[in-house]
Structures are given as structure tokens and as C-alpha cells.
Amino acid sequence: MTDKELKQIGKKDSRGREIAGVLLPLPLKGPYDYALPKGVEAVRGLIVVASLGSREMLGVVWCPPEGTVGDNRLKEVEELEEAVLLPAGLCDFVDWVASYTLNPPGSILAMALRTASAFDPETPRLAFVKGDTVPPRMTEARARVLEVAGDGLARSVSSFAQEANVTPAVVRGLIASGALVETELPEYRALDIPDPDCVAVTLSDEQRAAADSMIADVREGKFATSLLDGITGSGKTETYFEAVAEALRQDKQVLIMLPEIALTIQFMERFAERFGCRPAEWHSDLSQKERRRVWRSVANGTARVVVGARSSLFLPFSDLGLIIVDEEHEQAYKQEDGAIYHARDMAVVRANIEKCPIILSSATPSLESFVNASTGRYKWLKLSRRHGVAELPEIRLVDLRDSRVEAGTWLSEPLREALRNGFASGEQAMLFLNRRGYAPLTLCGSCGHKLTCPNCTAWLVEHRYRRRLACHHCGFESTLPPECPQCHEVGSFVACGPGVERVAEEAASVFPEARIAIASSDILHGPEETQAAIRAMAKNEVDLLIGTQIIAKGHHFPQLTLVGIIDADLGGSDGDVRARERTFQLLNQVSGRAGRAEKPGLVLMQTRNPKDPVMTALVNVDRDSFYEQERQYRERASAPPFGRLAAIILSGGDGEAVRETGKALARAAPNAKGVKVWGPTPAFYSLLRGQTRERLLVQAERSVDVQAYLRAWLAGVKIPGSVRLTVDVDPVSFF
Ligand SMILES: [Zn+2]
Ligand SMILES: [Zn+2]
């Protein structure tokens, strides 16, 4: 960056110091004025140390000063030992997200500064190279070390010891004699640089055409949005890798976003096969040290490709040439805690600010993206054929009203038969049920009392393997009580409905020979266990994988030919506008796991609603007419993307105060053309983690400035200290 590009924003005070607005990573109204040490120029993005009250924290020089504080009362910030700048694009992005989501800008900045240790000065690693001195006494061990050192590379004591097969004492002896001399290495090894031309790639004509369009966008270096819309198994990833390669050739940085960490392992391997090394990773599971390394490498431009979860959007890229949002329809892109934002939508904003193309990739795009593509707002790149010899699986419905299953069992006869046939010919199968644990509900067989969480309006889910009842919302756990708390009957509890553990139990009793594994996004089956199950499946060490939505995504199992969906009707009756879309996306994605190599796949869906439009669309492989129906329905209902929604959630330990505040808010809602306010109503989980929750919903026509409406509304209401107010613009969950 040249000096001219740096935005000078400070004003000089009477003592010749620059004064500027400094944004702190706290939920304050805006930046506060501070003085900069003499000689330091106020440049937007400069990270400094500021004190607020008795606390010291990082802050960022943000904007011209307000000028309301007298010069002599202004506090002075301190410089960091090493100057670090947040790139201008990231500062603009923070402001934009804050304004759109109605969060204080400091709360958004906090996400960009979360890696506080990244700003400490580097501590170089101590290493040694061969010196000019010859050791006075030469031994065989010493000779071996010097031979290793002969290549001139710097090594630590332990590396020398290991490579020369000597004890560290031998190495230290050579250092003492001056035969090895100290040198300094940067704290971290630099990240490997992906090679765009590492392997020769062959693409189908369809893939080539899509790749060429994306490559042209990368070359042009302008903001442009493409929807890469390809059926499962059509090779979307290898197609967009061509755009990544082009960005690398142009010396640009690339951000690839994935909805979940669980997906990264297979992805990293695919990336390494294509580009010769792994990309940088960014997600909440990284160690503090690794976060620091990646943050700094992104900031100084040496991290060329970053694969990350939502929070990677707030990394300090300075030369972004491409953003990819994989599985763009995934709800996991919506951040629901703290500052609520939709990472896919905000990725489009960041691409716009950075003036670079963005690719949204999915087999089942969100209806929003589908509409944007069909109206020409996004480029629509379609991949309609499976790659190689693989064909789309055949999808058959099992009507549970005809194929009855015995009470307490979940596998219908047609499904059992298909499993039997598959196992007989040595093929793999997968059973999908989006319910963790053993049973979603435990009730008393005598009086009907249901076991619920004391902190939430939710049932306790039985986890039989661990002999625990757990609340999936707050983490409350208990053992099964010896007697019913209501009627005091002993041993009267009955497990109702299936979870994956219960289906696994049934499968094991029907197929005692089969090797069965469970994968679920669970506190009990944590990420490692799930990864182990998925790896075992990929290596053909498992015959039957039973799991929740964690198995639906992105995995490639060449030997998997049969997918059974235990309950295709689950989730269809949520009552929110996206329920059907989501069911379709999930079932389509699960189905897509079957028959990805030479062998054809079969999907059996157990349902009680075979006439449901979701089922019909899946069986007839007719996605677009399903989407068209959904589009019309949303248009009639003025639902997104044809209208806008915003939710206000009130919560607090004092239920009465929460409800009163809800009523006061509703009364204060301004009248505006094209805006309706609904509520307050108790939220779906009206008690969550011990907090009472009420919701209000704003429904507005597309042309309405929802943020302006909300600002005007909220400015006029005093929220008591005991009540927490959260704004969710464009809500995707209605709990
Ligand atoms: Zn009872
Ligand atoms: Zn709970």
C-alpha cells in the first residue's frame, strides 16, 4: 500500500498530536476520541492500545474525531510494538455489517480482532547453522551432525539431534565450540504456496464452460456473483478449483467458505491433490498459535488460499481476488449467537467491497439465490450431469401406511430387504435420521408425564449409550429418575420415537453380522468420533453408517449404493416459510450420497405423505418445478425474497419484565407504509437456558428500508436493564 492510499483522518490538537475516533471491540454506540502519540499519523485501520476506564484493550483508528472532548482531557493511545493495519476493505466491511444487522460497530470489530495474540511482536525461533570453526575434538557423532549441517539449512538443536541420530548434548557441544552458530528464523514457517498448475485437469464440456465463465470474472477483477448450480456428484468443486487456480496465477488471495468444520478434512485432501499443498485453515477449533500464524499470514499476503467457517469473513485479506461459498444454502452460515448475521449474504457484501467475484455453489440453492439467478442478477452456471460414469440414484418411496412396521421398530420390510441385498453383494449402506440420541421423548406409561428440561421448553433426549437424559439446547443432563415425578410409579418410563442410537440398535439386531457405525453432531459423538466413523466408512471398514445431517454433506463414499431415509416427513411441518425448501435440500443431499462411482445407487424414503410436493419432486428428479412452486408461494405470501423480515427477540430471567417490554415495544411500533408488526408472542422455545423469550416479527415490502424502520422504532423505547433485546434481520430460524 502506498502512502497516498492510506486515509488520513486525524485532526491536530493544540499540542500537535493527531486526534481521531478510535473504535473499541465493545458494544458501544460508536468510536471514542483519543489522542495519538506525537509523530503517529491517524490512518484508518491502525491498531492501537487504548484504555477505557481501568481496562486496556486493542482499538482501531477509525474515523475523524467528534471533537467534543477538550484536548487536555483526551486520553492518549499507545502504539503496538509492530504497526499492524486492518485493511481499509475490512474496516468498511465492519461498518457495513454493523449497519445492516443493527449491531454496534464495536461488536462486529470484535470478530475481526478476536485473535488478540496476533498483534504481539514476533518471537523468532532460535536455530543454528554451520560456523567457520572446526571443533577441537572430532567424534563420530559430531561428524554426523556437521555432515547434516553441510546443506547450510538452519535447524533447532532437536532437529540436528534427530537427523544426525545423536543426543542433544552432542549438538550443544558443537554450539559451545563455535562449530554451529546461532541464527534467527521467523517465528513460523511460511505457509506453503498452492501451485495452480500442479496437475493436469480434464473437465467435461459443461464444467469447462462454467469454469471459463468464472475464470473470466477472476481475470476481470470486478465484483460479479455466480451461482454454480450442479447436481450432487457433478464436480462443482473441481470446476471452481479452476477459478481458484486463476486467482493464484493473478497473485491474488482466495477465501473458500464451508458451512461446517466437519467438512474440512476431506476438502483439505482434495485441495492438496489439486494444488500440491494444503490451504490455510480458519475455524474455532484452531489452536491460539495456529490462529496467530494464519491471521498474520493473511494480513501480510503470504496466506494465498484460506478455507474457513463463517468467521473467516473477518480476516484481514488485503488482496482478495475471489470468494467461494460452498453449500451456499446451508443454514449453518447463519450466525445465531452474539451478533446475528448471515455469512453467505455478508460474503457477497465483502466481495462487492473488495471488487472481486464471488461464487455461490450448491446442488440445491437457497430460493433467494435461485431467484437471483433466474432473474439474471447472478450468473447461472449449471452442471446437470454427474461426473464420470456415475448416474443419479433411483429414488423410491416406501409408503409407511402400506408397509407397516412393528411398534417400536423403524425399518420397513422393503428397506430391510434392500439392506440385506446390499450387504450380500458387499456394498455399503447409509441410514439417515435427523435425530440425535436414542429417543427424542421419554414419558411415563402410567400417567403420560413427559420428561422436560427444567431450563427450556424442550423434551429431554435419551442417550442410552451413556445412560443419560440430555437437553440439546442448554446441555442440562440427568439420569433416568427411579420413579415418575408425577404419579410416583416405579420403572414406568417409555422411550418414544427413534433417534440414531435406537435405529442402530434395531439394525444390529436384524443384521448381527454387519459392521455398524453412528455419526452425529453430538456432545457424545463429538467431532473426532464422527470423523473416525466417516473415515472408516470411506475405507470400507463399515457396512452401515447411521447418522444425522452430518453424514448428508460433501462426503464421497465410492462403495455406498443404498441410502435409507428413516423419516422423510421430519421437519416438514415447522410452520416457517423455509421448512419445505429445507426438507428438500436435506433429502436431496442425503440421496446424493448413493451411487457416486460405477455402481448405481438406490434411495428408499420412508414417508406417510407420498403426495407431498417435496417427495414428488425428489422422485421425479424435478427440482426446478418444485422451486418454481415455492417461488410462487413465497411471492403470494410476500415472504423472502419478495418481502423482508426482521425479528426482535426479547429475553431475560424476569419473565414478567420480558412480557411487559414486548407489549411496550408493540405499542411503540411506528406506522409505516408496507410494514406490519406481529407479536409479541412467546417464542417457540419460550423458556431457553432459564431465560423467558418473546418475539416480535416485522414483515415489510421489499422496497422498505427495514433498518431505518427498526432504528426509528427502537430509539423510542426504553428497554429495562434486565431484558436483553436482539435484532435478527433476515431471520432463518423462528425459534
Ligand atoms: Zn407417571
Ligand atoms: Zn435445556
The 10s digit of each residue's pLDDT in 333-344 is: 999 888 899 999
Least confident stretch, 49-53, 135-139, 308-312: 135-139
CA of 450 to the centre of ligand 2 (A): 14
Distance in angstroms between the alpha carbons of the first and the last residue of the chain:
46
Read off the C-alpha cell for 17. Answer: 498530536
Residue 156: predicted pLDDT = 84
Which residues are in the CB-under-5-Å shell of ion ligand 2?
Answer: 453, 455-456, 471, 473-474, 476
Residue 5: predicted pLDDT = 46
CA of 626 to the centre of ligand 1 (A): 45
Residue 2: predicted pLDDT = 44
CA of 687 to the centre of ligand 2 (A): 8
CA of 109 to the centre of ligand 1 (A): 52
Residue 728: predicted pLDDT = 95
| Long-range interactions of 474-481: CB distance < 8 A, separation 24+ | 474/688, 474/689, 474/690, 475/523, 480/442, 481/451
pLDDT in tens, 706-727: 999 999 999 989 999 999 999 9
pLDDT in tens, 672-690: 999 999 989 888 888 999 9
Q: Which ligand is nearest to the CA of 492?
A: 1
Q: Name residue 524's amino acid.
A: L
For CA atoms 473, 474, 477, 481, give the dihedral sign. Answer: negative
Confidence of residue 571 (pLDDT cuts 50, 70, 90): low
Percent of the chain scored above 90 by pLDDT?
60
CA of 312 to the centre of ligand 2 (A): 30
CA of 482 to the centre of ligand 1 (A): 11
How many Å apart are CA 241 and CA 693, to the nearest integer? 45
pLDDT in tens, 377-408: 999 999 988 776 667 789 999 999 988 788 88
Residue 527: predicted pLDDT = 65
Q: Which residues of 642-651 are buried (b: 16+ CB within 10 A; e: fewer)?
A: bbbbbbbbbb
CA of 491 to the centre of ligand 1 (A): 10
314 neighbors 111 (Cβ within 8 angstroms): yes
Residue 599: predicted pLDDT = 78
* Average pLDDT of span 574-586: 81
Q: Is 490 helix (H, G, I), strand (E, B) or coil?
A: strand
Confidence of residue 574 (pLDDT cuts 50, 70, 90): low
Residue 546: predicted pLDDT = 94
Beta bridge partners of 469: 462, 478
Half-sphere exposure of 530 (CA within 13 A, CB side): 25
CA of 485 to the centre of ligand 1 (A): 7
Half-sphere exposure of 164 (CA within 13 A, CB side): 27
Q: Which ligand is nearest to the CA of 454?
A: 2
Q: Which ligand is nearest to the CA of 490?
A: 1
CA of 659 to the centre of ligand 2 (A): 21
Residue 152: predicted pLDDT = 82
CA of 496 to the centre of ligand 1 (A): 15
Confidence of residue 1 (pLDDT cuts 50, 70, 90): very low
Q: Which ligand is nearest to the CA of 688?
A: 2
Confidence of residue 375 (pLDDT cuts 50, 70, 90): very high
Residue 519: predicted pLDDT = 86
257 neighbors 347 (Cβ within 8 angstroms): yes
Residue 187: predicted pLDDT = 67
Read off the C-alpha cell for 215. Answer: 475464470
Q: Which ligand is nearest to the CA of 493?
A: 1
Q: Name residue 427's amino acid.
A: E
How many Å apart are CA 202 and CA 183, to the nearest integer? 46
Q: Cα 235 to the chain's mean position, in Å?
A: 22
Which residues are in the CB-under-5-Å shell of ion ligand 1?
Answer: 444, 446-447, 449, 484, 486-487
Residue 120 has pLDDT above 80, yes or no: no
342 neighbors 330 (Cβ within 8 angstroms): no
Q: Which residue reads 431484558 in cell numbers?
A: 723
Helices in 250-324 by DSSP H: which ranges? Answer: 264-275, 288-299
CA of 474 to the centre of ligand 2 (A): 4
645 neighbors 435 (Cβ within 8 angstroms): no
Residue 409 has pLDDT above 90, yes or no: yes
Helices in 592-705 by DSSP H: which ranges? Answer: 613-619, 623-636, 655-668
DSSP element (H, E) containing 729: strand 724-729
CA of 454 to the centre of ligand 2 (A): 6
Residue 435 has pLDDT above 70, yes or no: yes
The better pLDDT of the pair 156, 666 is held by 666
Contacts of 240 (CB under 8 A, 6+ apart): 211, 214, 228, 324, 359, 361
Q: Which ligand is nearest to the CA of 442?
A: 1
Read off the C-alpha cell for 46. Answer: 491502525
Q: Which residue reads 418481502 in cell numbers?
A: 643
CA of 499 to the centre of ligand 1 (A): 23
Confidence of residue 3 (pLDDT cuts 50, 70, 90): very low
Q: Which ligand is nearest to the CA of 469?
A: 2
CA of 659 to the centre of ligand 1 (A): 32
How many Å apart are CA 122 and CA 49, to the nearest integer? 17
* Average pLDDT of span 574-597: 81
Q: pTM of the prediction? A: 0.85
60 neighbors 91 (Cβ within 8 angstroms): yes
CA of 344 to the centre of ligand 2 (A): 29
What's the chain's average pLDDT? 89
Read off the C-alpha cell for 1. Answer: 500500500
Q: Cα 341 to the chain's mean position, in Å?
A: 12
Residue 570 has pLDDT above 70, yes or no: yes
pLDDT in tens, 351-370: 999 999 999 999 999 999 99
Read off the C-alpha cell for 262. Answer: 466437519
Phi-psi region of 614 (alpha: psi -120 to 50; beta: other; left: phi over 0): alpha
The better pLDDT of the pair 523, 202 is held by 202
CA of 503 to the centre of ligand 1 (A): 26
Query: How far, in Å, are 22, 64, 273, 600, 704 from residue 30 at the CA level?
Result: 9, 12, 46, 59, 25
Read off the C-alpha cell for 702. Answer: 421489499
Question: Rg for the chain (alpha carbons), in Å?
Answer: 29
The better pLDDT of the pair 131, 100 is held by 100
CA of 685 to the centre of ligand 2 (A): 10
Residue 15: predicted pLDDT = 80
Q: Which ligand is nearest to the CA of 451?
A: 1
Percent of the chain scored above 70 by pLDDT?
95
Q: Which ligand is nearest to the CA of 459?
A: 2
pLDDT in tens, 520-564: 866 455 667 777 888 888 899 999 999 988 887 767 788 899 999
